[in-house]
Amino acid sequence: MAGLSHHTAGLSDLEAFRFPDEQAFLMAARERFRGVLLLQTCNRIEVLVQGSAASLTDFLHEQGREKFEIREGVDVLRHLLQVAAGIDSMIVGEDQILGQLKRAWAASQEAGACSQVIDLCMKKAVHVGIEVRKQTKINRGSVSIGSAAVALAENLLTTLKGRHILVIGSGEMGMLVAQALAAKNLTAIYVANRTYERAVMLAGKIGGKAVHFNELRRYFTLSDVVITCTSAPHPVITKEILADVMKGRCWPLDGHPRPLVLIDIAQPRDVEEGAGEVDGVNLFTIDNLRDVNEHNMEARREEAARAEAHIEAEIDRFITMLNGASADEVLGGLFTWAEAIRLRERDRACARLQGCSPETAAVIDDLTRVLTKKLLIDATYSIRACAQNGRIEEAERLVNAITRGDQSCFRKED
């Protein structure tokens, strides 16, 4: 696994590492690895592959990515379970990561990049994520990035009572923001989206007002807080737009604009870099939500410890399961080799019995199938045992010894 997260990377590093065309990335990666999965969230970008750390590093360098962290072996499995359980999230215990993992999993499958091992990893991660939430209180009253943005706005303004708030974006994050706002005693909630119908749907759910995207400047002027979370690949709010908007927010006497709290939780960012320099604009990003996480973590530290204990108990089972999958892949070569020989000799036998009946041909086919299975049963057991105990290379050498006559698996001391 390679990638970056909120633990060690800021927004600019995450944006530099992000892959705008996920499908193209998966298509390219599947040519190099047995399996690959790309997880991209607002504060995490990670690539999981069935392959070596060195190969993944080389591949990412070829993709123009230089700054990232690498994990391998058991560390990857543990990290994957921690991510699914929500204990590695910026907002500890948040539930959105499970949906994000499922979507990444589905994208890998659609691209034909999801190997048996990647598939097992995702099944296990999602299962453990669900079980941790059932067995602990880690997500009890949990907050999301969206609701954390609302909490930040409330802290900055002391109260949201009587305020006007504009939400830009009606996707999953926009929904979370809107739901958190609906619980506040606001005077007005405005919802904007490039697709107006989606804004209407979200506004209808929370009792807000849908606005057209081309009316944003007017509603910027009316609002005390703007929370933006679109999926646009480039900034939708520029310094120029904000400078123009702030002219309409000026106090009558002193010429200074009414302050505007602007919270950008999109990734990539919706607000142009440097927009916070515009007079009266108080710009905050995902990086500013770290304090919310620290407060949240204090309240959940005991539950996080219980979640960690559950994960550690699952690790050995996880390893055995993956080794079993590796055994299936190794044995696949053996069975393919044996089946080719069986079919060849079956056909030769039938050819020698000129004009043999379908019944006779069926008997010969059944006989060769049973003989092949019985002849391989002990070898299969030994190879599977090696693989399940983590001795994959030894299992591969045994298969090569049978299928190619390779004697390198027999050490001198044997």
Give the per-residue pLDDT at 171: 86
Contacts of 240 (CB under 8 A, 6+ apart): none
Residue 339 annotated as lining a ligand binding site: no
Based on the fold, state whether residues 9 and 133 are members of the same structural domain.
yes
* 27-41, 61-75, 256-270: the lowest-pLDDT one: 256-270
Q: Which residues contact 48 (CB under 8 A, 6 or more apart)?
A: 1, 36, 37, 38, 39, 76, 80, 118, 121
So what's the pLDDT on residue 142? 57
Please report whether residue 28 resides in a domain. yes
Asked whether residue 174 is marked as a ligand-binding residue, the answer is: yes
When pLDDT is cut at 50, 70 and 90, the band that residue 260 belongs to is: very high
> What is the per-residue pLDDT for 371?
93
- Token pair of 196 as six digits: 């107006």
**Residue 361 within any structural domain of the chain:** yes
Same domain, 264 and 382: no
Q: Position of tokens 């107006």?
A: 196
- Of the three residues 124, 140, 156, the one that is the final residue of a domain is 140
* Number of domains forming the structure of the chain: 3
122-155 pLDDT, tens per residue? Answer: 999 999 999 999 998 888 765 788 888 888 898 8
HSE-CB of 224 using CA atoms within 13 angstroms: 16
Supply the CATH number for residue 11's domain.
Answer: 3.30.460.30
In a domain, 302, yes or no: no
Other C-beta atoms within 10 Å of 371: how many?
12
Closest C-alpha among 193, 150, 207, 144 to residue 173 = 144
Averaged pLDDT score across all residues of the chain: 88
Domain containing 117 equals 2-140
Backbone φ, ψ for residue 161 (5° rounding)? -60, 125
Matching residue, tokens 């299975």: 373
CATH number of the structural domain spanning residue 243: 3.40.50.720
Q: Which helix (H) or strand (E) holds 228?
A: strand 225-228
**Which residues does 268 contact at the CB level (< 8 Å), separation at least 6?**
15, 18, 232, 233, 234, 235
Same domain, 279 and 326: no
Q: How far apart are CA 137 and CA 134, in angstroms?
A: 8
Instruction: Specify whether 27 is located in the same domain as 131.
Output: yes
Residue with tokens 């010969």: 364
DSSP, collapsed to helix, strand or coil, labels residue 9 as coil
β-partners of residue 36 are 49
Same domain? 19 vs 78: yes
Please check whether residues 80 and 163 belong to one and the same domain.
Answer: no
Shared domain check, 329 and 271: no
Domain boundary among 140, 172, 204: 140
Indicate whether 190 and 100 sit together in one domain: no
With a CB cutoff of 8 Å and minimum separation 6, the contacts of 183 are: none
Q: Is residue 39 part of a domain?
A: yes
Question: Is residue 35 in some structural domain?
Answer: yes
pLDDT band of residue 413 (cuts 50, 70, 90) is: very low
Instruction: For residue 413, tell me if it sits in a domain.
Output: no
- Residue 331 exposure: Cα atoms within 13 Å on the Cβ side: 20
- Per-residue pLDDT of 194-247, as tens digits, reads 999 999 999 998 889 999 999 999 999 999 999 999 988 889 999 999 999 998
| 43 marked as part of a ligand binding site | yes
pLDDT single digits (tens) 341-391? 999 999 999 999 987 898 999 999 999 999 999 999 998 888 888 877 777
Pair (193, 168) in one structural domain: yes
Domain boundary among 293, 327, 343: 293
- Options 42, 114, 121, 386, the catalytic residue: 42
Annotated binding residue at 333?
A: no
Residue spans of beta strands (DSSP E) within 30-163: 35-41, 44-50, 69-70
170 appears as a binding residue in the annotation? yes
Mean pLDDT over 31-60 rounds to 95
- Percent of the chain at pLDDT > 90 equals 51
For residues 249 and 264, what is the distance between their CA atoms, to the nearest angstrom? 20
Give this prediction's pTM: 0.76
Question: Do 199 and 228 reside in the same domain of the chain?
Answer: yes
**Is 350 known to be catalytic?**
no
Question: Do 151 and 288 form a contact (C-beta atoms < 8 A)?
Answer: no
Task: Provide the 3-class DSSP secondary structure of residue 53.
Answer: helix
Task: Please tell me whether 171 is known to bind a ligand.
Answer: yes
96 among the known binding-site residues?
Answer: yes
Residue 299 in domain: no
Distance in angstroms (rounded) separating the CA atoms of residues 317 and 305: 20
**pLDDT beyond 70 at 338:** yes
Residues 253 and 343 in one domain: no
Q: Please spell the DSSP secondary structure of 296-358, one letter per residue.
A: HHHHHHHHHHHHHHHHHHHHHHHHHHHHHHHHHHHHHHHHHHHHHHHHHHHHHHHHHSTT--H
Q: Which of 148, 130, 140 is nearest to 90 (CA)?
A: 148
Verify that 280 and 177 share a domain, yes or no.
Answer: yes
- 173 carries a ligand binding annotation: yes
Single-letter amino acid, residue 229 = C
- Would residue 172 count as lying in a domain? yes
pLDDT 10s digits, 385-400:
887 777 778 888 888 8
Q: What is the pLDDT of residue 414?
A: 43
- Tokens for 80? 């994957």
